[in-house]
Amino acid sequence: MRAGKLTKTLTIERATITVDAYGTPAESWATIAMVRGQLIQSSTEEFLRNFGASSEIATVFRIRYRDGINVADRVTCDGITYDLKEVKELGRREGLDLRCIAVGAS
């Protein structure tokens, strides 16, 4: 994986439960890593759903291998937040392809 192609800064976040001053649990996102990545593919797909037409922004990012990333995490890049749908290992721990869908894209 060539370093010159890793032009995007990605923030990988994981959901955590915190308790506020009143004892109420609240979900928040904690940063687990900031990595450099490559934008492999970005496309908008339109679907007909039971509530009408909608579109999803599907994106694939490639990063160096990092252990512990799973589909419960999310990725933020250029101010857009993406839910992870698939984490695919490349080679023998050479890299990861992160297949994502933009949050709130409809």
pLDDT digit string, tens, across residues 41-96 = 877 665 555 555 556 788 999 999 999 999 999 999 999 999 999 999 999 999 99
Token digits of residue 104? 């709130």
For 3-102, CATH number? 2.40.10.270
Q: Strand 52-64 and strand 80-90: pairing?
A: unpaired
Average pLDDT over residues 2-24: 90
Buried b (16+ CB within 10 A) or exposed e, 24-35: eeeeeeeeeeeb
Domain ranges of the chain: 3-102
Q: Give the pLDDT confidence score for residue 49 in this predicted structure.
A: 53
Q: What is the pTM of this model?
A: 0.79
